[in-house]
C-alpha cells in the first residue's frame, strides 16, 4: 500500500526497481520522521485542522511509535513503500480517522526533506563528538612526545629535524579546519523545509515558524521552491565536510603505514593490532591503516558522486534524488568507524626515541649549523656555502641540538592555542538547543 495509490496496483518488477534499497535506508530516518510529525500535528491543531482531542490521540501514539523505534521494534512492513507510509498506517490502524489527517499541508517531498535534515544534523553531532575525541588524543600524544625528535621530509627526502610532538599536533590542528567545514555543513543542514509541500507551498495557512521552533532548527528554508532545490545540495555540502575529515585521516593513515615500515621503524603497535603473513613469519602488517587509507580515498570521491547524480536535474522533485541516501548514509557510518579506529590505534602507539642519533641523519642538522653560523655574525649565504662544502668534503660535523622557539615550532607547539581554536568552533554548533527541542517534543 502506498500513500499516493488509488485503485490500481503497480507492476511488481517496477516496484522492485524503483524502490530499490530505499526501505532499508528509510529505517534510519524513522525517528526523524516521527519528530517531524509531532511538530507538524501540533501546528495543524493551531490552524484548526486537528481538534484538541485528535491532537492528544495523535501525539500520544506518535510518542509510542517513537519509543518503539528507539527500542528497535519498528519495521517497514512488506508492501509498505517507505517510512512515511509506515508511520501513517500504524497511526491510522491504532487511532482511526485522526491518523489520516496528519498528512494535511505536507507532501512526502517535504517529509523526506525534514527527515533528512533532522537525521543529518544528528549524524553531524555524533561525528563532531568523534572528531573532538580524536583531537584530544592527538593533543595528548603531542604533549607527551614534544621532545622526541624525528626526521622531517620534503620530496620524501630527509630534510630537517621534526618531532613527534609536531607530527601529532599537526593532525590535531588539521581537525580544527575540518571542524569548520562541519560547522558550515551543520548550519546549512539545520534549516527547516517543512511546509514547502511538493515544492510550491500549500493553500492551508501553515505556521512554518512554529514548526521551525518546535524542531529546534536555526531558521526556515524560506522559499518553498528553494527548499526542494536544497535536496542534493545539502547532501553534497555534508559530503564535502566528510571528505575534508577523510583527507586528514587518509594522510594520517599513510604516515602510520610508512613509519611502521622496517625501513623507517619510527613507530610500533602491539601485535594484536597488526596482521601477519601466511608465509613470512616476520611480518606485522598495518592493515587497519591501509583499510582506512582506502576508505578515505573512496570517501573523498563522495562529493563528486553526489554532484554527478544531481547535475542538470530539472526544477522540482526528481526520483533520482532517492539514490542519494544509498551513497551518503553508508559514508556517514564509515567515517564514524574510522574516527573511532584511528583513536583506538593511536592510544596504543609506541614511538621510538633517539632516531636522529643515527649517522644517516647527520645532514638533517645542516640547517641548524648554517643558522648558528649566521647567528654568530657570518652572512647567511656564506654560512650556507661553507656548510655545503663541508658536506661535499666529508668534513661536516653536525650540531645535534635544536633551538626552535617561534610559535608552532618544535620548542613552542602552541597546543593550548590550537585547543582554543577547536573550543571556539565547537561552541558555535548549538547542539544543546536542538537536543532540548527534540526532548520537549517526545516527552510524555
Q: What pLDDT is recorded for position 425? A: 98
**Radius of gyration of the chain from Cα atoms?**
28
Q: How far is CA 385 from CA 240, 279, 391, in A?
A: 47, 51, 10
Tell me how far apart the alpha carbons of residues 144 and 131 are, in angstroms, rounded to a whole number.
20
Whether residue 4 has pLDDT greater than 50: no
- Taking every pair of C-alpha atoms in the chain, what is the biggest distance, in angstroms? 95
pLDDT digits over 374-393, tens only? 888 999 999 899 888 988 88
Tell me how far apart the alpha carbons of residues 265 and 261 are, in angstroms, rounded to a whole number.
6
Burial class (CB in 10 A: 0-12, 13-18, 19+), 362: middle
β-partners of residue 120 are: none
Q: What pLDDT is recorded for position 321? A: 87
Question: Are 347 and 144 in contact, with CB atoms under 8 Å apart?
Answer: no
Tell me how far apart the alpha carbons of residues 121 and 251 are, in angstroms, rounded to a whole number.
26
Question: Are 288 and 344 in contact, with CB atoms under 8 Å apart?
Answer: no
Burial class (CB in 10 A: 0-12, 13-18, 19+), 413: buried
Q: What pLDDT is recorded for position 279? A: 61
Q: What pLDDT is recorded for position 8? A: 56
pTM above 0.85, yes or no: yes
Helices (H), 323-379: 324-346, 366-375
Lowest average pLDDT, out of 46-60, 134-148, 315-329, 412-426, goes to: 315-329
Tell me how far apart the alpha carbons of residues 17 and 12 are, in angstroms, rounded to a whole number.
9
Whether residue 277 has pLDDT greater than 70: no
Q: What pLDDT is recorded for position 276? A: 64
Q: Which of 114, 33, 110, 109 is nearest to 66 (CA)?
A: 33
Whether residue 410 has pLDDT greater than 50: yes
Task: Write the CB contacts of 42 (distance below 8 Å, at least 6 apart in sequence).
Answer: 55, 59, 210, 214
β-partners of residue 162 are: 150
Q: What pLDDT is recorded for position 437? A: 97
* Pairing verdict, β 267-268 and 350-351: antiparallel
β-partners of residue 268 are: 350
Task: Write the CB contacts of 103 (distance below 8 Å, at least 6 apart in sequence).
Answer: 3, 88
Lowest average pLDDT, out of 122-131, 254-263, 317-326, goes to: 317-326
CA 214 from centre of chain: 25
pLDDT digits over 31-88, tens only? 999 999 999 999 999 999 999 999 999 999 999 999 999 999 999 998 888 899 999 9
DSSP 316: S
SS (H, E, C) 7-18: CCCCCHHHHHHH
Task: Write the CB contacts of 16 (distance below 8 Å, at least 6 apart in sequence).
Answer: none
Cell of 233: 545540495
Torsion angle in degrees (nearest 10) through CA of 102, 106, 109, 110: -100
Task: Write the CB contacts of 36 (distance below 8 Å, at least 6 apart in sequence).
Answer: 111, 114, 115, 118, 194, 215
Say what percent of the chain tops pLDDT 90.
Answer: 76
Domains of the chain: 12-101 (1.10.275.10), 109-356 (1.20.200.10), 358-393 (no CATH)
Cα–Cα–Cα angle for 267, 272, 277, nearest 5°?
Answer: 85
Whether residue 6 has pLDDT greater than 80: no
Amino acid at each position: 500500500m502506498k500513500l499516493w495509490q488509488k485503485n490500481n496496483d503497480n507492476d511488481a518488477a517496477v516496484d522492485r526497481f524503483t524502490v530499490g534499497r530505499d526501505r532499508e535506508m528509510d529505517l534510519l530516518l524513522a525517528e526523524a520522521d516521527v519528530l517531524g510529525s509531532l511538530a507538524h500535528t501540533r501546528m495543524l491543531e493551531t490552524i484548526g485542522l486537528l481538534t484538541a482531542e485528535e491532537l492528544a490521540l495523535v501525539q500520544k501514539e506518535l510518542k509510542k511509535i517513537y519509543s518503539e523505534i528507539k527500542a528497535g521494534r519498528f519495521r517497514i512492513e512488506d508492501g509498505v513503500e517507505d517510512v512515511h507510509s509506515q508511520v501513517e498506517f500504524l497511526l491510522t490502524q491504532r487511532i482511526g480517522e485522526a491518523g489520516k489527517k496528519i498528512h494535511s499541508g505536507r507532501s512526502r517531498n517535504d517529509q523526506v526533506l525534514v527527515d533528512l535534515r533532522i537525521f543529518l544534523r544528528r549524524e553531524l553531532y555524533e561525528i563532531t563528538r568523534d572528531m573532538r575525541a580524536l583531537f584530544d588524543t592527538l593533543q595528548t600524544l603531542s604533549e607527551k612526545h614534544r621532545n622526541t625528535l624525528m626526521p622531517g621530509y620534503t620530496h620524501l627526502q630527509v630534510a630537517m629535524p621534526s618531532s613527534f610532538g609536531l607530527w601529532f599536533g599537526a593532525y590535531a590542528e588539521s581537525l580544527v579546519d575540518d571542524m569548520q567545514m562541519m560547522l558550515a555543513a551543520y548550519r546549512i543542514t539545520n534549516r527547516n523545509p517543512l511546509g514547502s509541500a511538493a515544492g510550491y507551498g500549500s493553500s492551508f495557512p501553515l505556521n512554518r515558524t512554529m514548526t521551525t521552533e518546535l524542531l529546534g532548527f536555526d531558521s526556515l528554508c524560506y522559499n518553498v521552491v528553494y527548499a526542494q532545490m536544497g535536496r542534493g545540495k545539502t547532501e553534497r555540502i555534508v559530503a564535502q565536510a566528510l571528505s575534508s575529515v577523510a583527507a586528514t585521516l587518509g594522510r594520517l593513515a599513510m604516515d602510520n603505514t610508512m613509519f611502521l615500515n622496517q625501513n623507517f621503524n619510527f613507530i610500533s603497535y602491539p601485535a594484536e593490532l597488526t596482521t601477519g603473513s601466511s608465509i613470512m613469519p616476520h611480518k606485522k602488517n598495518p592493515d587497519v591503516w591501509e583499510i582506512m587509507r582506502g576508505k578515505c580515498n573512496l570517501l573523498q570521491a563522495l562529493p563528486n558522486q553526489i554532484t554527478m547524480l544531481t547535475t542538470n536535474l530539472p526544477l522540482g522533485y526528481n526520483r533520482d534524488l532517492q539514490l542519494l541516501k544509498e551513497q551518503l548514509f553508508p559514508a556517514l557510518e564509515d567515517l564514524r568507524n574510522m574516527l573511532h579506529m584511528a583513536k583506538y590505534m593511536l592510544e596504543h602507539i609506541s614511538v621510538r626515541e633517539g632516531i636522529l642519533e643515527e649517522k644517516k641523519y647527520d645532514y638533517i642538522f645542516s640547517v641548524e649549523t648554517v643558522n648558528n653560523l649566521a647567528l654568530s655574525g657570518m652572512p647567511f649565504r656564506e654560512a650556507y656555502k661553507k656548510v655545503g662544502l663541508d658536506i661535499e668534503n666529508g668534513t661536516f660535523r653536525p650540531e645535534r641540538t635544536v633551538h626552535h622557539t617561534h610559535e608552532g615550532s618544535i620548542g613552542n607547539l602552541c597546543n593550548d592555542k590550537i585547543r582554543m581554536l577547536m573550543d571556539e568552533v565547537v561552541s558555535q554548533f548549538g547542539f544543546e538547543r536542538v537536543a532540548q527541542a527534540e526532548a520537549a517534543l517526545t516527552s510524555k
